Amino acid sequence: MIKAIVFDFDGLILDTEGPEFQSWQEIYQAHGCALTLEKWAECIGTADAFDPYDLLEERLDRPIDRAAIRARHRARQAELMAGQAVLPGVERTIHEAQAMGLKLGIASSSTREWVTGYLDRFGLRGHFSSLKCADDVALTKPDPALYVLSVQALGVAAHEAVALEDSPNGVLAAKRAGLFCVAVPNALTRQLTFDGADVQLNSLADLPLEALLARLQG
pLDDT in tens, 174-204: 999 999 999 999 888 888 889 899 999 999 9
96 and 195 both lie in a single domain: yes
11 and 22 both lie in a single domain: no
135 and 202 both lie in a single domain: yes
10 and 112 both lie in a single domain: yes
- Name the residue range of residue 178's domain: 4-15+85-217
User: Domains in the chain: how many in total?
Assistant: 2
Which of 32, 53, 81 marks a domain boundary? 81
Residue pair 106/41 in contact (Cβ under 8 Å)? The answer is no
Q: What is the pTM of this model?
A: 0.90
40 and 96 both lie in a single domain: no
* Predicted local confidence at residue 38, as pLDDT: 84
Which of 81, 102, 127 marks a domain boundary? 81
Task: Determine the distance from the C-alpha atom of residue 25 to the mean position of all C-alpha atoms in its chain, rounded to a whole number.
Answer: 20
Q: Taking 90 as the threshold, does the pLDDT of residue 50 lie above it? A: no
121 and 205 both lie in a single domain: yes
55 and 90 both lie in a single domain: no
137 and 184 both lie in a single domain: yes
Mean pLDDT of 8-12: 95
Q: How confident is the model at residue 83 (pLDDT cuts 50, 70, 90)?
A: confident
Mean pLDDT of 214-218: 90
Mean pLDDT of 78-101: 94
Q: What is the CATH number of the domain that holds 184?
A: 3.40.50.1000
132 and 212 both lie in a single domain: yes
* Predicted local confidence at residue 49, as pLDDT: 73
Which of 61, 81, 101 marks a domain boundary? 81
Question: Distance between CA 118 and CA 90 in Å, rounded?
Answer: 14
Q: Taking 90 as the threshold, does the pLDDT of residue 69 lie above it? A: yes
- The per-residue pLDDT of the chain, averaged, comes to 94
92 and 57 both lie in a single domain: no
* Predicted local confidence at residue 32, as pLDDT: 96
Q: Taking 70 as the threshold, does the pLDDT of residue 48 lie above it? A: no
Q: What residues are labeled active site?
A: 8, 10
How do residues 116-175 score in pLDDT, each as one tens digit? 999 999 999 999 999 999 999 999 999 999 999 999 999 999 999 999 999 999 999 999
Beta strand extents in the chain (DSSP E only)? 4-7, 103-107, 130-132, 161-165, 180-183, 199-200
123 and 209 both lie in a single domain: yes
Residues in the chain: 218
Residue pair 133/110 in contact (Cβ under 8 Å)? The answer is yes
The secondary structure of 68-129 as a DSSP string is HHHHHHHHHHHHHHTT--BPTTHHHHHHHHHHTT-EEEEE-SS-HHHHHHHHHHTT-GGG-S
57 and 142 both lie in a single domain: no
